[in-house]
Amino acid sequence: MTRYPSIQALRAIECVDRHGSLWRAAEELNVTRSAVSHQLRLLERDLGFKLLERSGNRTEVTARARSYAQDVRQALRMIAQSSSRVTQNGLSGTIAISCPAGFISAWFCFYIREFLEANPDITLKVINAPYMSDTSNPSVDAFITFGLDPNAKVNATELHKVEFSPLCSPAYLTRLGGTLDCNSLEHATLLHMGDFDDWKNWMTLQGFPEQSAERGICFPDMNMVHTAVLQGQGIAIGDAVLWRRELRNGQLMRPFEQSLYSETKYYFCTPHDCADNPLTEELLKWLISCINSRDLTSETRS
């Protein structure tokens, strides 16, 4: 008769591999580090090969154990998916979802309550993506990305296209004299995310030298740009789709007609081994419905 490893031991190796340390795995599993070590010793006995090895002051998962942990991760996901399918009280469980910070703060946080009200037994764990097209985190069930990594092993569904436009607060526009044209723009503070590229592209579209964009303030992420624009600190090339709520309620204005229409889109991505997860399927269905019902398309110019 085949002997199966204990579920506790399987969870232990999966967790240690994902976190890269015993103490972080113990913290997630809500047990002591010695308990995790004990489960791994039992698993080594059952499997007949070494799971951990010392490297200086660190304990690392062996290459063979890392490959095994990936298979375990997929098996645990399949068990969770099956449990969700057979539950009699609707969908339940936890979804770990990774999103760019700008999408989280500008859109996701304002509407996700509706999903949880419709699915009260689902818990969401939202993770800030390290970059906008990231799909690398093995502990994540679904990713919302801006753009797609061509090497990503995921199933991708387009959520919406993007329109970039200069945006500022009414108060900031008033300080500039109430109107903004290409001449007065020379005296405005330009706000950037990471580099000057968005403003350079817009300047080029208007026939201005791209060097005109190389001034102002560069912030490390879109959250900071968003806050600075709302507080009247300058004018930014913003996402007129995600920031539509602020445009509608008058917190932001579009002083220019011209926009940049990006070929890059927002996508909902799931790893291939999570393709049949009913929880992520339900989340995708809600996202598409929510986006369509709010008509996330171009906003009327101010």
Per the CB < 8 A criterion, the answer to whether 260 and 198 are in contact is: yes
Which pLDDT band holds residue 300 (cuts at 50, 70, 90)?
very low
In tens, the pLDDT along 48-79 reads: 888 988 877 777 888 898 888 888 887 887 77
Whether the predicted pLDDT of 161 surpasses 90: no
* pTM of the complete model beyond 0.75: no
Rounded to 5°, the CA angle 274-276-279 comes to 80
What is the distance between the alpha carbons of residues 294 and 276, in angstroms, rounded to a whole number?
Answer: 27
What is the distance between the alpha carbons of residues 196 and 193, in angstroms, rounded to a whole number?
Answer: 7
- Least confident range from 34-38, 51-55, 183-187, 293-297: namely 293-297
What is the distance between the alpha carbons of residues 202 and 138, in angstroms, rounded to a whole number?
Answer: 37
Rounded to 5°, the CA angle 237-242-248 comes to 90
Hey, how many other C-beta atoms are within 10 angstroms of the C-beta on 55? Answer: 8
* pLDDT number for residue 294: 58
* pLDDT number for residue 251: 93
Whether the predicted pLDDT of 82 surpasses 60: yes
Per the CB < 8 A criterion, the answer to whether 119 and 89 are in contact is: no
What is the distance between the alpha carbons of residues 144 and 105, in angstroms, rounded to a whole number?
Answer: 13
Residue 238 pairs in a beta bridge with 165
* pLDDT number for residue 299: 41
Axis crossing angle, helix 7-19 with helix 22-29, rounded to the nearest 10: 130
Residue among 215, 185, 300 nearest 253 (CA) = 300
What is the helix (H) or strand (E) element at residue 217, kind and residue range? Answer: strand 217-219
202: left (phi over 0), alpha (psi -120 to 50) or beta: alpha
- Least confident range from 78-87, 120-129, 216-225: namely 78-87
* pLDDT number for residue 301: 40
